[in-house]
Structure 1
Amino acid sequence: MLVQGPGALAEAVRAQGGLLVDRGPLDAVVLDTSGCDSVAALRVLYDALHPAVRLLGAGGRVLLLAAGVPPSPQAAACARAVEGFTRSLAKELGRRGATANCLYLEPGAALDAPLAFFCSERSAYVCGQALHWQAASATARPARRISVVTGAAGGIGAATVRRLAAEGDCVLCVDVPQADAALRALAAETSGEALPLDLTAPGAPAQLAQAVQRAGGADVLVHNAGITRDRSLGRMSAQEWDQVLDLNLRAILAIDAALDAAGALNAAAREICLASISGIAGNAGQANYAASKAGLVGYVAARGQQLAARGSTVNAVAPGFIETAMTHAIPFMVRTVGRRLNSLRQGGRPADVAEAIAFLARPEARGCNGQVLRVCGQSWLGA
């Protein structure tokens, strides 16, 4: 790993098991530009990375650190320039399976969690993204961490259950009664608990809150359940509109309200909502779905401010084209194009999304709150 920045950065890299070298092939390059406050200072982007990218191995990682609290308009211009540079570099590196991402870093912010994620294979399908990382002390991991995952029976939900269980979590797996067999098999496999429940049914939020209380309260809450009912707006029925908004947005708001009222979210909880690039960029034939997922983006931004006082966070993960049973039902040519519409020119896996969720669920991830992390291979749709 090649590191250019103050000594504290090198120490953080070593703490994550990184070996500092200045010759290739490189697994990762980390460049701290947070001190840039003039156009001339931006030359470090060229001077450091012009030789480094040629030493970067296939599937390598580049992480640029920018000023999270710029002290002047000039410094703010430099920080945003670093983000623009990152997005362009990511499109170049994607051709060989490598990625580049940007982290806006507040003074005093701990780097352990983002380095472990962005400089490893865990971020394989996260490319060209920018996150703000605040200065916030890490919270202790509970001796017995309770996680709740909705839409758990298959796809991204099942991958998330398995990933959190691998961390040692006891997972409450929630899905519709029709998926009971798969749900119970997954819970048995991961030593978790199954809860068949239609989240749109009357009384479902209260039932879920009661189950969470019995389990000891939620330390991690993953709102993954969601559906699509794709059709152009002029052809869409009122029922298709309501079905999508009811599950994808209304149910989440109701569940959170019920959990808050019952005190069922533990202190320092981590909440993650599954948004979508459709909610960021829009998508023809998905007006209902895009509205529901964009609503979640706005929701986590506002709710994050509410949860911060108790050391808790809420963020959204926005997947792009992920290889699931749902996408396999798409016509072959449409599916092939969908895979290619990103810098990495391939589809993602449910495990890629699960890794992002596990990252945001870490006690050390308190520095990220109210934000959206896209897991899309730097999709060409949206910003």
Structure 2
Amino acid sequence: MNDRYASFVQSGAGRTLVKRLGLPDPPRLRRHRPGDPLLPGPALLGAATRSQAATGSRAATGSRLVEPVGRILRAAGVELATDDPAAVGDAAAASADTRFGALVYDATGVTDSTELRQLYDFFHPYARSLHASGRVVVLGTPPERCATPREATAQRALEGLTRSIGKEFGRGVTAQLVYVADAGTETSLEATLRFLLSGRSAYVSGQVIRVGTGPATAPADWERPLDGQVVLVTGAARGIGAALARVLARDGAQVVALDIPEAGDELAAVANEISGSAVQLDLTAPNAATRLADHLAARHGRVDVVVHNAGITRDKTIARMNADRWDQVIDVNLSSQERINDVLLERELIPHGGRIVSVSSIAGIAGNRGQTNYATSKAGVIGLVDALAPALADRGISVNAVAPGFIETRLTARIPLVLREAGRRMNSLAQGGLPEDVAETIGWLAWPASGAVTGNVVRVCGQSLLGA
């Protein structure tokens, strides 16, 4: 769907009008293309130091991630600069006139609120030094893992910093906070850093991502991080589902594309385009989960990644909604996911190291007038992630969700103009996302290298002004 306002803003007359009237200014976003470098410029890498109360001095380093992060970025071909050569080693000293592709700060050394000043000292001089669509990533310690209440307080404060930066820097710059557990840092963190710094995360901003422990295997080729993986995508005939099938196949997956029989022609076209296979199945039909499991077992012997994307809307206020509308939405959007998971897990068709990724919605976080059924189902998806992630940790299976905001699809094209424009502009990037933005985020969560990322709900919403 064409965003005519965003196209107009990129013209000479549009630029002038936006500046004079203070109108929303949607930037051109840097999106992933195969072969692109991770960043358009060097990364500035900084780290906090811990104050020594007895002497008033500071330790040389108190941050535990700066060295492994430096190694990850160098291995990814990123040029490194630093404002503290003693902390980062052989990185080049930062120059005032350098345009950076990313600002990356290890804040795990912040153990007291008084030490938060170091974040100001790092970001203040370089806030205007980022390329358009640059990246800001702050690394911290999960507050519940902190040694003292003061440290937990300081680490929780990082959320306000990163979310505010995402709203301040503009020009397509995104900002994220990554809480990292102690064990297996380099192996577990690399996939998340590669995703957040690349164009794959164009429409993801203001997010808090938790990286814990879990089986994480780096691919032989980061351009094909899903090589050899069998991936099921439900609702694959159109929109986000079709984009998912294309992105996952591009990344090396063997895609099993599923949709209802009524969408058979479109489903076949998608499957043929990506050299995948098509399954026509109504997930609300009796024994649908068993029939799907039988098919996967017979054709592939397993399914490495299950992407629950199938969903419907039947919008009415709850006062005007009949029971059928309620039941249909809950069944398709939530209960069918539970039935499929139950059968696939019981039959052990999802192996150790497998992935379950569900599509929630910002409506499940913030609610939405006229969508009580839909919002209930999508909040339930978040509950599914919360419940399953710890339950499946011992089996090495990660469970995550994405929560799209306003995404340019045929469904959003039907929204009345005024509401459609409000949906597009009410986020830090002042535009709607693309189906590919949701697909890229799900792709990252599906990678074998992302096994330490579980129990997360990642919003793909351009940092919407609605919701948490």
Q: TM-score, normalised by structure 2?
A: 0.80
Do the aligned partners of 1:87 and 1:100 also contact (CA within 8 Å) in 2?
Answer: yes
Cα distance in 1 between the residues matched to 2:346 and 2:191: 31
Alignment partners' CA distance in 1, 2:436 and 2:420: 19
What is the aligned residue count? 382
Q: What's the CA shift for 1:9? A: 2.0
Match of 2:71 in 1: 11
Q: CA deviation at 1:248?
A: 0.4
**1:320-376 deviations in Å (ceiling 9; x for gaps):** 000011111111221111101111110000000001001101111111111101100
Q: Distance in 1 between matches of 2:217 and 2:172?
A: 34
Who is 1:236 aligned against? 321
Does structure 2 retain, via aligned residues, the 8 Å contact 1:139–1:311? Answer: no
- Give 2:317's aligned amino acid: S
Q: Which sits farther off after the overlay, 256-265 or 181-190?
A: 256-265
| Distance of 2:278 and 2:272 partners within structure 1 | 8
Moved over 3 A (4+): 139-143
AA partner of residue 3 (structure 1):
L
2:146 corresponding residue in structure 1? 70
Q: Counterpart in 2 of 1:189?
A: 273
SS of the counterpart of 2:387?
helix
Is 1:30 aligned to residue 72 of structure 2? Answer: no
Q: How does 1:368-383 map to 2 (within 5 A)?
A: 368-383=453-468
Structure 1 pair 107–294 and aligned structure 2 pair: CA distance change class (3 A)? same
Are positions 1:101 and 2:185 aligned together? no
Contact 2:227 2:252 in 1 (8 A): no
Preserved contact between residue 100 and residue 127 of structure 1 (Cα < 8 Å) = yes
- In the aligned structure 1, how far is the partner of 2:386 from the partner of 2:177? 20
Structure 2 SS opposite 1:266: coil
1:349 aligns with: 434
| Corresponding residue to 2:259 among 175, 187, 191 | 175
SS in 1 for 2:255: strand
- SS, match of residue 233 in structure 2: strand
CA distance in 2 between partners of 1:313 and 1:207 (Å): 24
**Which deviations, in whole Å up to 9, do the C-alpha atoms of 1:280-308 show, x marking residues without a partner?**
11111110000000011011111111221
Deviation at 1:140, TM superposition (A): 6.8
If the length of structure 1 is used for normalisation, what is the TM-score?
0.97
What is the match of residue 269 of structure 1?
A: 354
Provide the rounded CA distance (Å) in 2 between the counterparts of 1:245 and 1:169. 30
Secondary structure class of the residue paired with 1:57? strand
Whether 1:134 and 2:212 are equivalent positions in the alignment is yes
Residue 207 of structure 1 is matched in structure 2 by 291
Corresponding residue number in structure 2 for 1:329: 414
- Quote the Cα distance in structure 2 between the aligned partners of 1:97 and 1:160: 23
Q: Corresponding residue for 1:297?
A: 382
- The equivalent residue for 2:89 is none
Segments of 5+ residues of structure 1 without an aligned counterpart are none
Residues in 2 aligned to 1:212 and 1:139: alpha-carbon distance in whole angstroms: 24
Q: Which is greater in Rg?
A: 2
2:90 paired residue number: none
Mapped partners of 2:410, 2:254: distance in 1? 26
Pair 1:39 & 2:110 matched: no
Aligned with 1:54 (options 102, 121, 128): 128
Give 1:164's aligned residue: 248
How far off is 1:262 after superposition? Answer: 2.2
1-structure distance, mates of 2:111, 2:408:
43
Q: In structure 2, what is the equivalent of residue 116 of structure 1?
A: 194
* Counterparts of 2:263 and 2:214, CA distance in 1: 40
Give the whole-Å Cα distance in 2 for the aligned partners of 1:281 and 1:301. Answer: 17
- Identify the residue that residue 361 of structure 1 maps to in structure 2: 446
| Distance in 1 between residues matched to 2:67 and 2:350, nearest whole Å | 38
Q: Distance in 1 between matches of 2:70 and 2:260?
A: 48
Whole-Å Cα distance in 2 between the matches of residues 133 and 257 of structure 1? 26
Superposed CA RMSD in Å reads 1.3
Percent identity, aligned pairs only, is 47
C-alpha deviations, 1:220-260, integer Å up to 9, x for none? 11000000111111011111001100100111111111112
CA drift at 1:33: 0.3
Q: Secondary structure at the match of 1:268?
A: coil
Amino acid at match of 1:131: I
Question: Which region of structure 1 is more displaced relative to structure 2, 1-10 or 56-65?
Answer: 1-10
Which residues of structure 2 form unaligned runs of 5+?
1-42, 48-65, 82-93, 220-225
Distance 1:378 1:167, change over 3 A: same
